[in-house]
Structure 1
Amino acid sequence: MTDFLHPQLDDAELGRISALGLAHIGDGVYEIMTRSYLVCQGMQTARGLHAKTVALVRASSQFRAAQLILPLLSEAEADVFRHGRNAKPKTIPKAASHSEYAYATALETLFGWLYLRREYDRLNQLYTVISQDFPEILAKK
């Protein structure tokens, strides 16, 4: 593989990646989308960008995001989401409940799966729904 930004995996290769492996990729995809959102909103200071990024990518915010998109998922997407939700990570951050972390992992698993399937339009559709909730999350920060 030489294009690490746009990996090309067939269905068999994608099927061999664990839910936590997909979540690992999805975590990065979700964070880069969040950073892009904030920069394009006109955030200027590094401190402000970091604080708002952390607020939007933490497990409690991703739990909220998952609740927003769950009704919009196709059957295949819902299966991937459930697979991620049922994954068994070794540790859970102190700031997150078990349920929040399970849903955050599920969201990241879905985003990783969509990214590796090159479904960029679908990622943007789901992220647009999620980002509509950001002003409320950031107001509570």
Structure 2
Amino acid sequence: MRPASSWLAGLAPHPPQAELGPLQLAWLGDAVWELHHRLQRCQRPGRSHTLHQEVVQVVRADAQALALEKLDQQLTDAERDLVRRGRNRAGRGPRRGDAAAYGQATGLEALLGWLFLHEPARLAELLDHLQEIDP
């Protein structure tokens, strides 16, 4: 069976000329995270509404914060710094949401966005690690 993140090999991102800020990286990382989970669910049959609901559950801030917690031991100091920069720029988040979880989720998204642009092999490695420990 192919690794869960082998879809990255087909994408050839072009890093922007100027370095993106943490919130732009988080915005991009959010799309990467959702696409990753949508592609996982495309591998099995199911109604689109049901598959969508499954994806919604894993792209929520609390689920992303949990994913970041599971990745923590795998991250380098530079990657932790990217997470911290994203987390610190996150703001409060939705009114009813947990501000801490929202910050952690934004940090994860910033990391994913940066890795997508600059180190797609590392991105695939981390996404595959998550898939291995929590299939």
Shorter-normalised TM-score: what interval?
Answer: 0.7 to 0.9
Q: Percent identity?
A: 32
Shift in Å, 1:94: 3.9
Structure 1 partner of 2:111? 110
Question: After the TM superposition, which residues 1-141 of structure 1 pair with which residues of structure 2 at under 5 Å, given as runs?
Answer: 6-9=13-16, 13-14=18-19, 17-40=20-43, 42-89=44-91, 92-117=93-118, 119-132=119-132, 134=134
Gaps of 5+ in 2: 1-10
Q: Extract unaligned runs of 5+ from structure 1.
A: 136-141
Q: 1:134: Cα distance to partner?
A: 4.9
- TM-score, with structure 2 as normaliser: 0.83
How big is the shift at 1:133?
5.6
CA distance in 1, matches of 2:134, 2:34: 14
Which of 24-33 and 93-102 deviates more? 93-102
Rounded to whole Å, the distance in 1 between the matches of 2:40 and 2:99 is 28
Confirm or deny: 8 A CA contact 1:56 1:134 kept in the other structure.
no
User: What secondary structure does 2:46 align onto?
Assistant: coil
Alpha-carbon shift at residue 124 of structure 1 (Å):
1.4
Q: CA RMSD in A?
A: 2.0
Q: Taking structure 1 as the reference length, what is the TM-score of the superposition? A: 0.80
